[in-house]
Amino acid sequence: MASGAYSRGVLSVLNGTVDLDTTAIKVGLAKDTYTPDPDESSLTTFAAAEANCTGYTGGFAGAGRKSATITLSEQTANNRVVTILSDLTWTALGGATNNTLRYAVVLREVTNDAASIPIAFLQFTSDLTTNGSDVLADFDGTNGNIRWTV
């Protein structure tokens, strides 16, 4: 499956529960065992397949979930609004325990994973195997990571 959005995340943006450029948004890493379902209404399935390699602490409020800076940009020539995430680096992931990573999951933590809001899943160009090196999510800073076509 390629990148996409979760229906609960889109609804939360449209009804104002989540304001992408002012609400605290995080990005977590999912292993290659994760199969995103756009109908997921919580982070429970993601949390079960979240990275657990050396240097990554997953789960609700886990240090592995990085805070994201988001910019919204109108692209009238393309008839869309784009959501641009800042690049994120996870330092020294893996080594003693390694994972094969496939997705970055954009999310809004609420009170626990069952109540939290999945927004989007972004598939890496190719799977990343941790080995103790840094993992960089180099998000598209021009065309956006989540596109809202009008």
Give domain limits for the chain. 4-149
Confidence of residue 1 (pLDDT cuts 50, 70, 90): low
* C-alpha R_g of the chain: 15
Is residue 24's pLDDT more than 80? yes
Mean pLDDT of 52-58: 98
* Parallel/antiparallel/unpaired status of strands 25-31 and 4-5: unpaired
Regarding pTM above 0.85, the answer is yes
Question: Which of 76, 73, 87 lies closest to 146, judged by CA?
Answer: 73
What sign results for the dihedral spanned by CA atoms 70, 56, 122, 39? negative
Listed in order, strand segments (DSSP E) in the chain are 4-5, 25-31, 66-68, 70-75, 80-85, 88-90, 100-108, 117-129, 135-137, 146-149
